[in-house]
Amino acid sequence: MAKKVVVTGATGLLGRQVVKAFDEAGWEVTGTGLSRANPPKVLKVDLTRAEEITKLLDDVKPTVLVHCAAEKSPDKCANDPAGTKQLNVETPLLLAKETSSRGIILIYISTDYVFDGTPGAAPYQAEAETSPPNFYGETKRDGEIAVLEGSDKAVVVRVPLLYGSGENYESAVNVLLDTIWNKAGKEKVDMDHWAIRYPTNTEDVARVLKDVAEKYTSTDPSTLPKILQFSSEDKCTKYEICQRLSQVLALPMPHILANDTVDPNSTVKRPYDCHLSTKSLKDIGINVSTLDFEAWWKRELGAFRK
């Protein structure tokens, strides 16, 4: 009998790949969404309403719940603190309590922004003390605390900047394509050449989450780490990401200018370098390999190359 998994945020950039990874591995997958729900594969569930969560869990009876749904934009978080806290802190706590009472393993997706990224401090180990640089990071750190206190079957998985198949607006990496394609524009664009990023593909993250779920359902979770971290080792600034994408597209980018002080487009404080150590995953035998950035984009954008 196939194991069952619920994936929240199943219509998002990461959620779609997580659904695919579990489905291809033979799991019975139920996704949840809200505005982009598509029953019966992706059910419309308001995760801020306790009664909808309990009905979902009682109807599906999953072995694992992977919580991908969250407010991920630091700028949007700063502009809507109440809504962000509800989605990023209160909802995870509710999920932790409801999954714990049913013996369901909860995998909570967190972020490298729980660390302040002080120059010289990276790479951060999973057990390192957190110190979020902004409100978004604070809510994700508080969400971590909530799920770990609310369930003894919860595990936190931190990930960095993500890219993958989807609409450009869904990823801070993908959206840079729009800036490159807009070469006909007369205005110059300042691009951050200060903060270090580690762009990581959603296909890799989804594979790791599936492997974590299989590990934690086949082993006593009390003997396994409560916090795991996954990241590529691909070190670059946003400006360098633009350079690499422009090479893939064979398009010039004279309109994009490097700014090596702080991100000139940011209204919220960003960390310098939050590189996550993957030792916690390696220690339990999880494969931490990642796709090649350029090779993946060449495959993804082949039809658009000029």
Q: In what order do the strands lie in the sheet with 227-229?
A: 42-44, 28-33, 4-8, 64-67, 105-111, 154-159, 227-229
Encoding tokens for residue 14?
A: 């990461």
CA-to-CA distance for 174 and 291, rounded, in angstroms?
Answer: 16
- 41-47: Cβ within 8 A, 24+ apart: 42/10, 42/11, 45/8, 47/8, 47/87, 47/91, 47/94, 47/95
Q: Is the peptide bond before 133 cis (omega within 30 degrees of 0)?
A: no
- Active-site positions read 136
Q: How far from chain centre, in Å, is Cα 278?
A: 15
Cα→Cα distances 148→96, 105, 141, 144, 221, Å: 8, 11, 11, 6, 12
| Chain-centre distance for alpha carbon 106 | 15
